[in-house]
Amino acid sequence: MKVNTVVASSAKSNGRPLTSDCDVAVIGAGPYGLSAGVHLKAKGIAVRVFGEPMEFWAQKMPEGMLLRSPRVASNLSDPDRAFTLEAYEAASKKEPCAPLPLDTFVEYGKWFRHQLGSDLDQRNVLRVDRDQPGFRLTLQDGEELRATYVVVAAGIGPFKKKPEVFRNLSPDQAIHCYEGRGIRKYSGKRVAVIGAGQSALESAALLHEANAHVEVIARQPDVKWIGQHSWLHHMGPISSMLYSSHDIGPLGISRLVAYPKLVSYVPLTLRDKIRKRAVRPAGARWLPDRLSSVKITTGRGVSQATALADEVALKLDDGSERRVDHVVLGTGYTVDISRYDFLPQELTQDIKQFDGYPKLASGFRSSVPGLHFIGATAARSFGPLLYFVAGTEFASRELVSHLPKTR
Ligand SMILES: Cc1cc2nc3c(=O)[nH]c(=O)nc-3n(C[C@H](O)[C@H](O)[C@H](O)COP(=O)(O)OP(=O)(O)OC[C@H]3O[C@@H](n4cnc5c(N)ncnc54)[C@H](O)[C@@H]3O)c2cc1C
């Protein structure tokens, strides 16, 4: 059934025509939304995926970035596993390379999305309201549409954490790594990078290579590097027993993380410990060399940040001071679904949550019937795999097995 044609339906809302209905509306066309859409479509479900494909990766992530995840964990998911990264490289005659450059991954996603054809609608969703049975979606141009189910696959964009101490700096003085597409323009500038996770350290390396004068400042006592025990990954079948191919988390935990259904049965306090341990701040193995001449100050926090006429003064908690032109915040994100501006308060207040994460049951069902969440927002229920592209396979198959055909 074709669902994307705008029809001058007899049903009207606020004087505007309603487009034809669909079974499932997926909000967000990143790795999760695209994969879910393709699986749902293959099951014969009338699905529409909303949003500009791969927008977050193409527009926000630092130019020149390399993916932290291994190639095998960087595939989007389709039911026949035919639209893999490898298939894309073969089709576009690209040499496979690892680590994977950001641009290649973005192009791969844009190639993958062609499976959706006209079921991909590049407009943003402005608002979701209950409209029994199901939901009414308002799109960016004011058009409205009804969907029986809504799957929120809108990523982490709104969840950027900007610590209080940096609040008074202007957006040009303090940018978050998650909107650091153009950080290379800071060539020749003095830049403090705050944090020592992958985003912070990768941004520091890119800035340094663009001839900025960089200092990394991090609270943690030392910088951790992923893959320090690389010999453990080269012991054949024994390594496969210790680590999953997704390479998320340390020895043992890595295997558990690969079974999100199992993780969902673990008591919440233990599940949280596993989640935090699996994604603790650390830099990829190719970063130490690139950062060898970058100053890294650990065990120090910034206690004050003051905007001066044409620079920023940072006071550290040991009393020392830095003068910089820009601050790049690699301070992570805090999931809080009330920050999705397309979800009105009337809806979010009925969604049972654990501190901003929706409480999800099998099929990624929230406590509001028909409303599902996939991607990072599902990580508190199904574990840290859902923070990564590698979770698209599980999320899509699980969704499809719980969403019935409604026509
Ligand atoms: C710097 C950085 C590096 C990372 N590196 C890796 C890595 O190497 N490997 C890995 O697996 N993960 C990595 N991640 C995590 C990564 O964010 C997730 O793996 C991935 O983006 C999850 O896909 P998603 O579809 O849930 O979210 P996204 O890719 O964020 O896609 C969600 C999309 O929804 C869109 N959207 C939001 N609101 C609306 C709306 N109202 N209407 C329509 N569309 C909307 C957004 O524009 C966005 O394009 C990294 C994250 C960051 C920030």
Q: What per-residue confidence (pLDDT) applies to 247?
A: 75
pLDDT higher than 80, residue 374: yes
Using the mean position of ligand 1's atoms as its centre, give its distance from the Cα of residue 343 in Å.
18
pLDDT by residue (tens digit) across 52-97?
A: 999 999 999 999 999 999 999 999 999 999 999 999 999 999 999 9
Q: What is the pTM of this model?
A: 0.93
pLDDT by residue (tens digit) across 19-53?
A: 558 999 999 999 999 999 999 999 999 999 999 99
Using the mean position of ligand 1's atoms as its centre, give its distance from the Cα of residue 328 in Å.
19
Q: What per-residue confidence (pLDDT) applies to 178?
A: 85
Q: Which atom of ligand 1 is nearest to the CA of 56?
A: 49
pLDDT higher than 90, residue 1: no
Q: What per-residue confidence (pLDDT) applies to 12?
A: 45
Q: What per-residue confidence (pLDDT) applies to 71?
A: 95
**% the chain with pLDDT above 90:** 81
For residue 307, list its beta bridge partners: 312
Bond preceding residue 99 cis, omega within 30 of 0: yes
Only one residue has tokens 């790594």, namely: 177
Q: Which atom of ligand 1 is nearest to the CA of 376?
A: 26
6: confidence class by pLDDT, cuts 50, 70, 90: very low
pLDDT higher than 50, residue 2: no
- Could you tell me which of 142, 143, 119 has the C-alpha nearest to residue 4? 119
Using the mean position of ligand 1's atoms as its centre, give its distance from the Cα of residue 201 in Å.
19
Three-class secondary structure of residue 225 per DSSP:
strand
- Residue ID of nearest Cα to ligand 1 atom 37: 154
Q: Which atom of ligand 1 is nearest to the CA of 156?
A: 30
Torsion angle of C-alpha atoms 267, 269, 273, 276, degrees rounded to 10: 110
- Residue ID of nearest Cα to ligand 1 atom 2: 199
Using the mean position of ligand 1's atoms as its centre, give its distance from the Cα of residue 183 in Å.
19
- Average pLDDT of the chain? 91
Using the mean position of ligand 1's atoms as its centre, give its distance from the Cα of residue 306 in Å.
32
Q: Which atom of ligand 1 is nearest to the CA of 154?
A: 34
> How is residue 338 written in tokens?
């009330």
Q: What per-residue confidence (pLDDT) applies to 3?
A: 40
3-class SS shares of the chain: helix, strand, coil, % to 5: 35, 20, 45
pLDDT higher than 60, residue 407: no
Using the mean position of ligand 1's atoms as its centre, give its distance from the Cα of residue 51 in Å.
12
Axis-axis angle for helices 31-42, 102-112 (nearest 10): 20
pLDDT by residue (tens digit) across 184-211?
A: 899 999 999 999 999 999 999 999 999 9
- Could you tell me which of 106, 112, 57 has the C-alpha nearest to residue 84? 112
Q: What per-residue confidence (pLDDT) applies to 123?
A: 97
DSSP 80-102: TS-S-HHHHHHHTTPPP-SSPBH
- Could you tell me which of 387, 344, 395 has the C-alpha nearest to residue 159? 387
> How is residue 172 written in tokens?
């040009």
**CB under 6 Å to ligand 1: residues?**
27-33, 50-51, 55-57, 61, 67-69, 124-125, 153-157, 177-178, 199, 342, 375-376, 387-390
- Residues 6+ positions from 191 with CB-CB distance below 8 Å: 183, 207, 212, 213, 214, 215, 324, 325, 326, 327, 328
- From 76, 112, 116, 156, give the residue whose CB has the most ligand 1 atoms within 8 Å, as the site to mutate: 156
pLDDT by residue (tens digit) across 84-135?
A: 999 999 999 999 999 999 999 999 999 999 999 999 999 999 999 999 889 9
Q: What is the mean pLDDT of residues 207-219?
A: 97
Using the mean position of ligand 1's atoms as its centre, give its distance from the Cα of residue 57 in Å.
6
Using the mean position of ligand 1's atoms as its centre, give its distance from the Cα of residue 234 in Å.
31
**% the chain with pLDDT above 70:** 90
Question: What are the angstrom distances between the C-alpha of 94 and each of 31, 74, 107, 108, 361?
Answer: 20, 16, 11, 11, 40
Using the mean position of ligand 1's atoms as its centre, give its distance from the Cα of residue 155 in Å.
5
In residues, how long is the chain? 407
Q: What per-residue confidence (pLDDT) applies to 9?
A: 38
Question: What are the angstrom distances between the C-alpha of 17 and each of 149, 193, 275?
Answer: 20, 49, 45
DSSP 57-76: HHHTSPTT-B-SS-GGG---
Q: What per-residue confidence (pLDDT) applies to 228?
A: 65
Q: What per-residue confidence (pLDDT) applies to 205?
A: 97
155: confidence class by pLDDT, cuts 50, 70, 90: very high
The residue with greater pLDDT, 18 or 116, is 116
- From 35, 50, 56, 159, give the residue whose CB has the most ligand 1 atoms within 8 Å, as the site to mutate: 56
Q: What is the mean pLDDT of residues 136-155?
A: 96
Q: What per-residue confidence (pLDDT) applies to 182?
A: 85
pLDDT by residue (tens digit) across 243-297?
A: 677 778 776 788 899 999 999 999 999 999 999 998 889 999 899 999 999 999 9
